[in-house]
Amino acid sequence: MSNPTAAMLVIGDEILSGRTRDSNMHHLAGELTKRGIRLTEVRVVPDDRKAIIDAVRALSEACDWVFTSGGIGPTHDDITADCIAEAFGVPLDVREDARALLAAHASARGNELNEARLRMARIPEGATLIDNPISAAPGFTLNNVHVMAGVPTIFEAMVAGVLPTLAGGTPLLSQSLTIRRPEGEVAAPLRTLAEEFADLSVGSYPFVRDGAYGTNIVIRGTDASRVDAAMTRLAAMFPEATA
């Protein structure tokens, strides 16, 4: 496929410790699929400067777009902006447009724009701001890296603002079939199908329901006629299957 590619970098000790369940990856994957952008890799790293910098550099070189979540808040362990700036070798400082957004938000709520909140106005030189309609503190885009908040509602709002600006590809289509047989019994015919339709993705996902084994088969591709043809062939292989 020639669709653009993307990677996601999830940043935060709380994710790796199991304290916080990440939902941002699931949301981003679905939205990218609609845009015809292939999510090819997801990495999770701690709040560690070297780990973040190394991952940003590697993913930026490997993919058309990189989306990060987490680490742009007001506390001492929010170091993502610092790391992005270092990864690309540019200065980081409080930017006046970002400061103005935070000042207006704080004033409207009777809060002080203190030193901690002002940390969220530090933007790498050359970056463009990503709008945050929920809490005002902006994300930013530098080169091909989109830096976003980890809070799911804010992350989702930022994704909604960024995706329309990106060139997408052909949306990925999918169809599925449920076969009431264990995966070991369907593996050989599926291999034949996958070889016959090498331009498509044929996925096999086993399950156990009411004590019985079964397999969900999902066929994905960008050509609707090819997906339809593969599903017709699959249904003929397993006439007892259900959609």
Residue 26 sits in the same domain as residue 71? yes
pLDDT per position as a tens digit, 11-24: 999 999 999 999 99
Residue 161 sits in the same domain as residue 193? no
Residue 23 sits in the same domain as residue 118? yes
Residue 103 sits in the same domain as residue 15? yes
pLDDT grade for 172, boundaries at 50, 70 and 90: confident
Domain boundaries, position 222: 173-237
The answer, yes or no, to whether residue 139 has pLDDT greater than 70, is yes
Cβ neighbours around 227 below 10 Å, total: 20
pLDDT per position as a tens digit, 55-102: 999 999 999 999 999 999 999 999 999 999 999 999 999 999 999 999
Q: Quick one: pLDDT at residue 55?
A: 98
**pLDDT above 90 covers what percent of the chain?**
95
Residue 33 sits in the same domain as residue 133? yes
Using the 3D structure, point to which of 139, 165, 191 is the last residue of a domain: 165
Q: What is the mean pLDDT of the chain?
A: 95
pLDDT grade for 134, boundaries at 50, 70 and 90: very high
The answer, yes or no, to whether residue 163 has pLDDT greater than 80, is yes
The answer, yes or no, to whether residue 144 has pLDDT greater than 60, is yes
Residue 144 sits in the same domain as residue 212? no
Residue 18 sits in the same domain as residue 118? yes
The CATH number of residue 22's host domain is 3.40.980.10
Using the 3D structure, point to which of 116, 147, 165 is the last residue of a domain: 165
> How many structural domains comprise the chain?
2
pLDDT grade for 2, boundaries at 50, 70 and 90: confident
Using the 3D structure, point to which of 165, 192, 214 is the last residue of a domain: 165
Residue 89 sits in the same domain as residue 158? yes
pLDDT per position as a tens digit, 27-62: 999 999 999 999 999 999 999 999 999 999 999 999
pLDDT per position as a tens digit, 113-130: 999 999 999 999 999 999
Would you say the pTM of this structure is higher than 0.85?
yes
